[in-house]
Amino acid sequence: MKIEDIKEAKELVLPNRNPGIALDLSWLTHQRVNRTATERRINDLAGRRTVKKQWQAAWLLRALTCIDLTTLDGGDTSTNVTRLCAKARFPLRADLVAALGMSSHSVASVCVYPSLVEIACSSLDGSGIPVASVAAGFPDGLTKLDHRLGEVVEAKTSGAAEIDIVIGRHWVLSADWYGLYQEVQAFRQAAGHTKLKVILGTGNLGNLTNVSKASLVAMMAGADFIKTSTGKEAINATLPVSLVMLRAIRHYYEQTGFPVGFKAAGGIRRAKDALMYLMLVHEELGKDWLSKKYFRIGASGLLIDLSRQLEHCITGRYSSDRRHPMG
C-alpha cells in the first residue's frame, strides 16, 4: 500500500448491512480454538511483517482514518468533547498534510456517552464525521434490558449514527446462546438503521473458544461490527483474540455472503501496534476490509503517536508530543 492508494481508495462493494440469520447452533458445536496455535500465528506475524518509507506512511494514514476517536471518562464535559471533535476534523498538522500531498484527512468517528451525543453532533456538523455512542449498560451490561434498550433509542434519537452496545457476558459464560442471540436482536431492532457495533468484552469470556462462539452468535443476530472490548476490562484488545474474531467474520462471510466489520478497542496507543492490527486484518480478510467501513480502532491516545511517526517519515526526526494533536 502506497500513499497513492490512500488517495484513490474506494469503498468495498459488498451487499448491504448484515441482516442476520436464524440462530444455527450447529455452527457452534464445531468451534474449538487452540490457544497455542493461535499465539504461534501471532508471533509469526510480529516476526516478519514490517513496512518502511512511503509504504509505512500509507499504512499509518490508513490507521488514522480508521480511528474511532474516543472519550469515555467520568469527567467528560461539553468542552473536552468539543475539543475532541476539533481534533477529529484536523487530526494532522497542516504542514504534515501538505508534505504528504494529501487533502484534508479525518478520523472514522467520534465516540462519546449518550448524554454528549448532541454536543458532538453539533461540533461535527458539516464535517461528514459520524458520532458513535456507547450504550446498553456500558461497560458491564448488567442493568435491566428495558433500560439498556432505552439507552440505545436515546443515543439514536440524539443523532448517533453508530451505537456500540455491550452484551451481558453471563450469556456466554453459561453457554446460553439463544439468550445472547435474542439480546443482540433486540438491540438491533432498537437501533433501526443505525450501525450496531456489538462489544463482546473478550477479557471476561474465559477462553478463545467462547470468543469464537460469541462472535458467530452476534453476527447471526445482525451485528454490523463485532468489537473486542469496552476499554474498561483488565484485559482489552489483544492480537490472539482479534485473530479468533477475524476468522469468525471470514467464516460467517463465506457461509452467508454478508460482510461484518471488526473493531479493536482498549490499550492500543502506539502506531506499531495499530499497524499489527491492520496487517492481521489484511492477511485474514483481505485488503477490501482495510477501510473505516469494515475496520475500526477504538482509541484516544493513539492519534499522537501516529502523528509523530508520520512526521518521522517526512523529516527523519521525532518531534515532541506537544507538537501534535492529542487524542
Cβ pair 268, 297 in contact under 8 A: yes
| CA distance to 143, 164, 214, 245, per residue, from 249 (Å) | 29, 18, 11, 6
Identify the DSSP state of 291. Answer: S
Considering only CA atoms, which of 291, 248, 243 is closest in space to residue 45? Answer: 243
Catalytic residue among 68, 164, 224, 305: 164
Query: Is 263 a known active-site residue?
Result: yes
Query: Is 164 a known active-site residue?
Result: yes
Q: Whole-angstrom Cα distance, residue 130 to residue 82?
A: 14
Angle between helices 239-256 and 35-48 (to 10 degrees): 100
Catalytic residue among 195, 213, 227, 292: 227
Tell me whether the omega of the peptide bond preceding residue 130 falls within 30 degrees of 0, making it cis.
no
Q: Whole-angstrom Cα distance, residue 272 to residue 168?
A: 32
| Cα radius of gyration rounded to whole Å, the chain | 19
Q: Whole-angstrom Cα distance, residue 219 to residue 127?
A: 30
Cβ pair 274, 302 in contact under 8 A: yes
Catalytic residue among 195, 197, 213, 263: 263
Active site residues: 164, 227, 263
